[in-house]
Amino acid sequence: MIEAFLFLFTGIIGLVTLALMLRSYQSNPFCNFFLVLIISVVSFRYFFHGSYNLGLQTVVKPDSGLYSLLFLIIAPSLYLYYKHLTDPKTAYNPKDFKHLFFIIFLYLINSVEVLRDSFLFYFGSMTNFYLITIFVTFYIVLIFNLLKKKVWFRKNLELNRNHFNLVKNWTIYFFIINLLCSLMVFVSLYTEFKTGVKVSGKTMAVFSVIFWSSAFFKILISPEILYGLPVLNKTLLKFNNSEVEKIEAVNLQNDVVGSNWVLEVAVKEDSQDYRLQENIRANIVSYIQEVDKLSTEKFIFRNQKVSQNDIAEMLGVPTSHIVYLFKYHSKISFTEYRKNSRIQDALKLIDEGFLNLETLESLAYKTGFASYNPFFIAFKNSTNYSPQDYSKVKK
């Protein structure tokens, strides 16, 4: 009775979590889909199991036997979830269906009598245990290597360490839950195959229920961790009204960049930009500050090829947000902003004595210009001095 209640309770909590996730599904569908699938499978399975054993419904019986193999889809789905979480730009790929091949193969060899009696089952019923263990372990190792490379031991971060730590802490927590649940499945299957009980993988499920419950509660108290890097960053960049009122007091490092921005803009209603404005209005100030920080502290424009897409990736936000920012909230175009930032960088380097050891051509390349001529023209238009004259004045 207590076990059935735990199943039902966990299923309900999972469904509540699922409903919360679906509210923001459109914000990052490729990242959300696999976690939605995982929690849907887990929640409905626990819900039907608990409600049936408590006599609340008699339509859907607890799964066991051959159909239990289909729940192995959770293993590859977890891998694909982490893959999309760590790289939000990853789009849905039909090749992902290759992860289902083994499950289909396992289902077929257990459902076709000829295959059941073939050499494939040399170890008898324990063959399924060995195959499932290898399959799940393969994905656990795959996930571990992915997270180790992309998150846990990654050091070349360009900004937003708090943002990164949220992702890191969540992946560590959720991976441990995955690992513990996998161990419980192994123990359950081994026990069921050895004793001849109809296979369901739920002999030790009471422990898995506890693990999944903790994951659901973790999600409910911090739902922003579900939706990949863009929404994580959006959460971290939210500013209150007092900060918005202080925008003019923000200490930017040069006048050209600092006076570039405007807060209040008019966008035509019923347009796509207007709908976008409603979604990101609260983040405009933080976007401005982060873009200026990239320019004046990270010197991203020293890279000749840097684009709005690159900035969006660094901030962990959709490219459309950065395009909107420069379209409506900047007094100059992105190209002009990039050029002015490079000139400000050059001025600072000259002030710091860069030309004492280097040439003007080196300064042009250093600040991101493809050659000296465009650097000369941009410098003179911005300062009314040629680079040579300005350096002489500074001396």
Q: What is the pLDDT of residue 362?
A: 93
The 3-state DSSP class for residue 70 equals helix
Per the prediction, the chain carries an average pLDDT of 78
Q: What is the rounded end-to-end Cα distance, in angstroms, of the chain?
A: 86
- Partners of residue 330 on adjacent β-strands: 261
196-222 residue pLDDT tens:
766 666 677 778 888 888 988 887 777
**Alpha-carbon gap, residue 215 to 42, rounded angstroms:** 12
Residue 242: how many other CB atoms lie within 10 Å: 7
Counting residues of the chain whose pLDDT is more than 90, the rounded percentage is: 18
**Alpha-carbon gap, residue 27 to 197, rounded angstroms:** 45
- DSSP E strands: which ranges in 19-141? none
Cβ proximity of 230 and 241 under 8 Å? no
Task: Answer yes or no: pTM beyond 0.75.
Answer: no
With a CB cutoff of 8 Å and minimum separation 6, the contacts of 271 are: none
Q: Name which of 148-152, 294-298, 331-335 the model is least confident about.
A: 148-152
Angle (deg, nearest 10), helices 284-296 and 319-328: 90
71: exposed, middle or buried (Cβ count in 10 Å: 0-12, 13-18, 19+):
middle
149-175 residue pLDDT tens:
888 886 655 445 556 677 788 889 999
Token code pair at residue 340: 């002015």
Q: Name which of 81-85, 145-149, 178-182, 274-278 the model is least confident about.
A: 274-278
With a CB cutoff of 8 Å and minimum separation 6, the contacts of 31 are: 81, 84, 85, 88, 227, 228
Report how far apart, in Å, the C-alpha atoms of 324 and of each of 27, 159, 295 are: 16, 21, 18
Q: Name which of 1-5, 25-29, 151-155, 387-391 the model is least confident about.
A: 25-29
Cβ proximity of 356 and 291 under 8 Å? no
Q: What is the pLDDT of residue 179?
A: 92
Tell whether the model's pLDDT for residue 252 goes beyond 50.
Answer: no
